[in-house]
Amino acid sequence: MRRILYPLLIILLGFTSNAQEMSVGPEVGLNILPLTTNEIGSDYGLGFHGGIKYQFTINEQFALSSGVYYSQLRHTYVGADTSLHSSIELLDGLIPEGIDLNTYTEIEGRTSLNYIQLPVTASYSWNGLGISLGGYVGYRVNGLRKERIVERTPFMQILDIESFDTTGFISMFLPPPFTENYETFSNMDNYQNWDYGLIGKLSYQMDPVVFTATYTFGLPDHRIDYEGDLEANRYYQFSVAYLVPLKKLVPKARIE
């Protein structure tokens, strides 16, 4: 993270020392988040982001932008497991081959991560159109994980146990044919506190309003311990800002 944070601070200090004007104002927008990707395409979700934007104008073409933002990000995941219930294990060897005694578990989960982000970008503009490149650092302030858990036991689905177990005593020791549960977890110990990466922007400024499309390319995985492919925070943003000139920065007079 220091490889991103330190250069951002150096760029910010260097540009602001030469800035001719500083503008500030609110910026709000939407995060377009790729949640799932498969052979037929991708599914996207929405998140909110908003904060205060600072723009330091060097001249008519060059400027530096920064700010402090609250940003909502999301990830989805799936999992599966196959197990044999302890009571069903007693029937193993007594049941004819071909009858499935396993319990199948399917998990669909969604992780919501909320960050405070500090981006720094340098921009070049011409006739209101601008292109910006830079980086960002983010700190996770909170998060939540929700799961949908489905369990199926095919053997119990074809066994009409209620016809001979009218009291329900035997059913107490057997897995149910089908269950569907929803669980919420607030423990986020397996998720990174810090996030960082690169950003690119296209903007159109029509004073005092700025419309911006951003692509954020996160570098680290948002998880600490994980298996499989990298899952970084990579997403699109569309936002609008209202900037008000704060003051003109007058260069120091030369001493001859």
Interval 13-30 mean pLDDT: 76
Domain that holds residue 80: 2-248
Q: What is the pLDDT of residue 256?
A: 43
Residue 23 scores a pLDDT above 70: yes
Place of tokens 């997403």: 235
Q: Could you tell me if 111 and 191 are in contact, meaning their C-beta atoms sit under 8 angstroms apart?
A: yes
- 163-182 per-position pLDDT tens digit: 666 676 666 777 888 899 99
Is residue 253 assigned to a domain? no
Q: What is the pLDDT of residue 254?
A: 45
Is residue 255 assigned to a domain? no
Interval 231-237 mean pLDDT: 95
Quote the strand ranges of the chain, DSSP E: 21-38, 41-57, 62-83, 103-126, 129-152, 178-185, 194-206, 209-221, 232-242, 244-248
Q: What is the pLDDT of residue 19?
A: 53
Residue 231 scores a pLDDT above 60: yes
Percent of the chain at pLDDT above 90? 55
Residue 236 scores a pLDDT above 70: yes
Residue 185 scores a pLDDT above 90: yes
Q: What is the pLDDT of residue 198?
A: 95
59/15 Cα distance (integer angstroms): 11
250/246 Cα distance (integer angstroms): 13
Is residue 164 assigned to a domain? yes
Is residue 254 assigned to a domain? no
Is residue 94 assigned to a domain? yes
Q: What is the pLDDT of residue 2?
A: 53
- 102-161 per-position pLDDT tens digit: 889 999 999 999 999 999 999 999 999 999 999 999 999 999 999 999 999 887 777 777
252 DSSP 8-state letter: P
Q: What is the pLDDT of residue 250?
A: 47
Nearest Cα neighbor of 140 from 215, 183, 190, 184 is 190
Is residue 179 assigned to a domain? yes
Is residue 256 assigned to a domain? no
Counting the structural domains of the chain, the total is 1
Q: What are phi and psi of 223, to 5 degrees?
A: -100, 160
Percent of the chain at pLDDT above 70? 77
Q: What is the pLDDT of residue 56?
A: 87
62's CB contacts (< 8 A; 6+ apart) are: 122, 123, 124, 125
